Chains A and B, each alone.
Chain A
Amino acid sequence: MIAEGGFRQPLNRVVAPLLMIGAFVGAWEIYARNSSIGDTVLPPFSRVAQAGWADRQSLVANTLPTLREVLVGFAISVLFAFLISILLDVSPRANRAVMPLLIGSQTIPLVVLAPLFVIWFGFGFFPKILLVTLVTFFPIVVGLIDGYASSERDSVTLLRTMGAGTLTVFRLVRLPSAMPGFFTGLRIGVTYAVVAAIFAEYAGAVNGLGVYIQGASGSFRTDLVLAGVLVAATLTLVLYALTVLVQRLAIPWYTQSREVSR
């Protein structure tokens, strides 16, 4: 079982998604070439790739700031999520008081918020990371809180009978129990992060993928718009894959046990 699965699985994991992406790109190419829509409105993939490659310098120069916003915003988000979740976990009263506020923060439409942030905080780095943080912390907090709650009762009780205090119980049982939930939240959060950063840039920025896409759109370069979108999608995929990788390394006891029981 181990030999067979170990050999075949990684291959499937790479080949199957690549085939899907290939099929999508192929369908796009064929449709764009044969339909009457016209190249300027729906350029085929090959043209998007060519245009993107030709403009690679500008594309890379605008991807880096976006990546930086995403990484910094996401890091703050994780930190913040841990602090909030611990507070909410130790104090049920805080949970009741703060949770509605957190949920409320998630209902504000980004379209409204992003321009406001620009008015309040200017065109710089800060409003971007603020938006990324705001959008990504919620799934992480929820993942953590659910995770704490998933601790085995007997394990907690056992530690108590051994004389462990609240802090020891948290460190040795509740926190590790929350790791699967944390990584689920992390994966959801990371898929929103790039979109949030681009949104923030759209509302007003000096550079970034959002600015790039906006500029290309203003000059009717649909091929470059799509090139920008492809880069954003790739960025999200890579970040997602990284999270999965970190999860595999950080909590092998969870990932592996699930593979066995499949």
Chain B
Amino acid sequence: MTKIPAISLRRLSKSFGDLDVLGEMDLDVGRGEFVSILGPSGCGKSTLLSILSGIEEATTGEITIHGTPLNESGQPFAWMPQSDALLPWRTVVDNVGLGYQVAGGLRKREAREQARFLLPAFGLEEFSRALPYQLSGGMRQRVALARTIAQGRDMLLLDEPFGALDAITRTELQLWLEQIWGVERPTVILITHDVREAVLLSDRIYVFSDRPGQIVAEFEVPLERPRTIEMLAGPQATQLELDLLRALHVGSGDTP
């Protein structure tokens, strides 16, 4: 890579006491690149995002953001946790506004005004005053995504954003995410269990091993953008899906 990567991990590892969660890894993400990490449950994917977003410290190794060490880079990331973490007492518009309010330092009312502009793109306009318990799973994820965007960072860390959804809603939201990503093309690291999701959304895919998580394979996604579901049925996508499943050792008999 000739350009300085947006995110660069060098010999990064993480242990919790005796538990080695992430083995040593080097990983790069280019500016505006959409990168997915695919790996078995418990291999340290969420932990990696925790380290990037500053919740946890790496045990060894270095992280640089556009060439600058992470701890001198302010907060470049907006993190979307694996649970949607919506605040049950806040309406949709105020949950989205939380990003403007806390990350952006706006007052609650100003944050709400800003959030209102964001809702239509997320299909949430009609639900702006609904409370989270009134929302479907798909809508909750859209609110959480909007809140992530509202933080105004140029890099997004998405932890299985569609993991809890049914297949139909998931596919719809994946296509929709690809669309809104295409507008400003922020740098994204997406964690997923879902091979198709990785293929449909990513520029590049890393496959992690079982714990301690290590990079066992890396694939470029040879599909054009904007992506369509038809592409998933094409020979390139099906071959890639197969390669990914093999890299994950699915169907080889050695998974527990």
Q: Does B16 contact A (CB under 8 A)?
A: no
User: When the two chains form their complex, are residues B102 and A159 in contact, meaning their CB atoms are under 8 A apart?
Assistant: yes
A159-B102, A162-B98 known; 16 other A-B pairs, CB under 8 Å?
Answer: A152-B83, A154-B81, A154-B85, A158-B81, A158-B85, A159-B98, A161-B55, A162-B75, A162-B99, A162-B151, A163-B103, A172-B98, A172-B102, A254-B88, A257-B133, A261-B133
Cα(A162)–Cα(B106), bound, Å: 13
Cα(A107)–Cα(B88), bound, Å: 37
Cα(A164)–Cα(B79), bound, Å: 14
Using a CB–CB distance below 8 Å, which chain B residues touch chain A? 50, 53-55, 75, 77-79, 81-83, 85, 87-89, 98-99, 102-103, 131-134, 151
9 A-B contacts (beta carbon < 8 Å): A155-B85, A158-B81, A161-B55, A161-B75, A162-B78, A162-B99, A162-B102, A253-B89, A253-B133
Q: Which residues of A contact B102 (CB under 8 A)?
A: 159, 162-164, 168, 172
Which residues of chain A from 125 to 181 have a CB within 8 Å of any chain B CB? Answer: 152, 154-155, 157-164, 168, 172-173, 176, 179
- Known contacts A154-B82, A160-B55; is A256 also within 8 Å of B75 by CB? no
Q: Does A238 contact B (CB under 8 A)?
A: no
User: When the two chains form their complex, are residues A253 and B55 in contact, meaning their CB atoms are under 8 A apart?
Assistant: no
Q: Chain B interface secondary structure, helix, strand, loop or mixed?
A: loop
Q: Does A19 contact B (CB under 8 A)?
A: no
Cα(A164)–Cα(B87), bound, Å: 15
How far is the CB of B148 from the nearest CB of chain A, in Å?
9
Q: Which residues of A contact B54 (CB under 8 A)?
A: 160-161
Q: Which residues of B contact A251 (CB under 8 A)?
A: 89
How far is the CB of A77 from the nearest CB of chain B, in Å?
24
Cα(A260)–Cα(B243), bound, Å: 45
How far is the CB of B8 from the nearest CB of chain A, in Å?
20
User: When the two chains form their complex, are residues A157 and B55 in contact, meaning their CB atoms are under 8 A apart?
Assistant: yes
Q: Which residues of B contact A176 (CB under 8 A)?
A: 87, 89
- Known contacts A160-B55, A161-B77; is A155 also within 8 Å of B87 by CB? yes
Q: Which residues of B contact A253 (CB under 8 A)?
A: 88-89, 131-133
- For residue B148, which residue of chain A has the nearest CB? A158
How far is the CB of B88 from the nearest CB of chain A, in Å?
5
A161: contacting residue among B79, B88, B133, B134, CB under 8 A: B79
Q: Which residues of B contact A155 (CB under 8 A)?
A: 85, 87
Cα(A157)–Cα(B82), bound, Å: 12
Closest 4 CB pairs of A and B: A257-B133, A154-B85, A162-B103, A162-B102
Cα(A162)–Cα(B78), bound, Å: 7
- For residue A160, which residue of chain B has the nearest CB? B55
Cα(A173)–Cα(B83), bound, Å: 15
User: When the two chains form their complex, are residues B88 and A257 in contact, meaning their CB atoms are under 8 A apart?
Assistant: yes
Cα(A257)–Cα(B132), bound, Å: 9
Cα(A251)–Cα(B13), bound, Å: 44
B83: contacting residue among A154, A160, A163, A179, CB under 8 A: A154
A152: contacting residue among B55, B78, B85, CB under 8 A: B85
Q: Which residues of B contact A158 (CB under 8 A)?
A: 79, 81, 85
Cα(A39)–Cα(B53), bound, Å: 77
How far is the CB of A93 from the nearest CB of chain B, in Å?
24
Cα(A252)–Cα(B88), bound, Å: 10
- Known contacts A161-B54, A161-B75, A164-B102; is A256 also within 8 Å of B85 by CB? no
Cα(A163)–Cα(B83), bound, Å: 19
Q: Which residues of A contact B77 (CB under 8 A)?
A: 161
Q: Which residues of A contact B151 (CB under 8 A)?
A: 162
How far is the CB of B47 from the nearest CB of chain A, in Å?
13
- For residue B150, which residue of chain A has the nearest CB? A162
Cα(A254)–Cα(B88), bound, Å: 8
Which residues of chain A from 18 to 71 have a CB within 8 Å of any chain B CB? Answer: none
Q: Which residues of B contact A160 (CB under 8 A)?
A: 54-55
